[in-house]
Amino acid sequence: MEGAAGKIIDAHCHIASEDHIPRAFVAGGIANLKARLDSQGIAASRDKLTAIYLQKLQDPLCDGLVDEMDRAGIAKSILLAADFTYALDCPISIEESYDKHRAVCERHPGRFEVFGGMDPRWGQQGVDLFQRAVTDFGFRGFKVYPPCGFSPSDHGLFPFYEICAEHRLPVVVHIGPTSPALSFSTGYPFLLDEAARAFPGVNFIMAHGSVSFTEECLMMCAFRPNLFLDVSAFQSAPGDGGAEALRATVSRGINHKVLFGTDWPVFRLQGDQQTFVELATAADGPLGELGEAERALILHGNAERLLAAAAGETG
Amino acid sequence: MTQTPYEERMLSLIAEAVPARRRKAALDPELSLQRDLGLDSIAMLALLFRFEQAFEVDLSSVDVGLSIGRMRTVADALEVGRQVLARAEQADGT
């Protein structure tokens, strides 16, 4: 991993707290886990699995995440404030969630950027809050979570995309399945195409493109200039910790469109940030086999380029 | 090499967790659980639960994520198991 350690940008993280990842969301994931363990004859109760998982959601100020970033050589992480507040029972409002994300940024200067999420059904109130988050709070991108029940090309999102176009902010769009508490039918990447075509000046990042609808995501990245993908959730690929999924993604000639990401804290039961970085960057690992320039693009260069545009640093 | 009863039992649990296509005649300590033996994260979690049942310890007091993160090789799994048992013994003694 020559030259990359200490510069890595994790393009896909969340604050590890039930404030931002609500209990209803977690319960869906636990149901899947329990079904798989049950099939192996392991009697782990739902309560026990939930307790084990919730151990990993106790880092509301991101002190633990910063420790892990330091050990893994991650300079900066992008915190995605997904808005579940319309679709699920949540302990705090999206406005309060934004405030807590701001507090994390103030506590750890230079270590985080925030992409604010908003369910389009909040209407003008949501647009106004997102606008304020961009101009007053310094948020550097938009997070869209279609499984909450809308298409990423829903016209209710267009006012948000207009703000993103004006400020050159990237938009992260969840792709593929998620907690079974939510809908899978809106996770298909081609649903994003209308918006990507309507807003050619906005860069859209398809989250989890290395494990969900990978062929479609790769094809869209290859042919639509303003589409990117992040590899977060590669850890969910079966068998080898995600190495093969990463290898398949980075061997298709679109590494100027691929961003490294982990989806922390979702996979904390599988390891820490150092584990995931090492898996990706080992000499015989998926990124270790690339040339230095391509590896640098994936680990930090592509994210830097998108963030620099959002900060008005490029022409 | 003579195995202790603990090692024998733990290696048997690991062997049970290995998918048929990755089975080995012997579980060398340096084998990677993921790369060589094909244990994914859920299989590792399942292994910990089998460990819990076999050794009658309570995983509630264990940082499961940290434990799985440390279990990279067969030798690591043996060591993590030893540490969990030592902590459980300490807890019983207090």
- Global ipTM: 0.78
pLDDT at A55 over 90: no
Which CATH number is B89's domain given? 1.10.1200.10
pTM here is 0.91
Nearest CA in chain A to B49: A42
Cβ–Cβ below 8 Å for B45 and A37: yes
Query: What pLDDT is stored for residue A2 in this prediction?
Result: 47
Tokens coding A233: 């959730």
The residue among A269, A273, A276, A279 with the most chain B CBs within 10 A of its CB, best to mutate, is A269
* Domain range for B43: 5-93
CB atoms < 10 A from the CB of A96, how many?
14
Q: For chain B, what is the domain count?
A: 1
pLDDT of residue A10: 98
Q: Which residues 24-43 in chain A show a CB within 8 A of chain B?
A: 33, 36-37, 40, 42
- Quote the tokens at residue A175: 């792709």
B25 pLDDT band, cuts 50/70/90, is confident
Fold of A8-17+61-310: TIM Barrel (3.20.20)
* pLDDT tens column, B35-55: 889 888 788 888 988 998 899
Confidence of residue A125 (pLDDT cuts 50, 70, 90): very high
In chain B, whose CA is at the least distance from the CA of A51? Answer: B60
The reported pLDDT for the residue numbered B43 is: 85
pLDDT band, residue A280 (cuts 50/70/90):
very high
Sign of CA dihedral B12, A31, A100, A153: positive
The answer to whether the CB atoms of B41 and A36 lie below 8 A apart is: no
The tens digit of pLDDT for each residue in A247-272 reads 999 999 999 999 999 999 998 888 88
Each residue's pLDDT tens digit, A70-107: 999 999 999 999 999 999 999 999 999 999 999 999 99
User: What are φ and ψ of residue A217, in 5° steps?
Assistant: -65, -45
Is the confidence at residue B71, as pLDDT, over 90?
Answer: no
d(CA A22, CA A92): 9
Provide the H-helix boundaries in chain A: 23-39, 46-54, 63-72, 94-107, 123-135, 158-167, 193-198, 214-223, 243-249, 273-281, 292-296, 302-310
Which whole number is the average pLDDT over A2-19? 87
The pLDDT value recorded for residue B1 is 62
d(CA A9, CA A264): 13
Per-residue pLDDT, averaged over A103-122, amounts to: 98
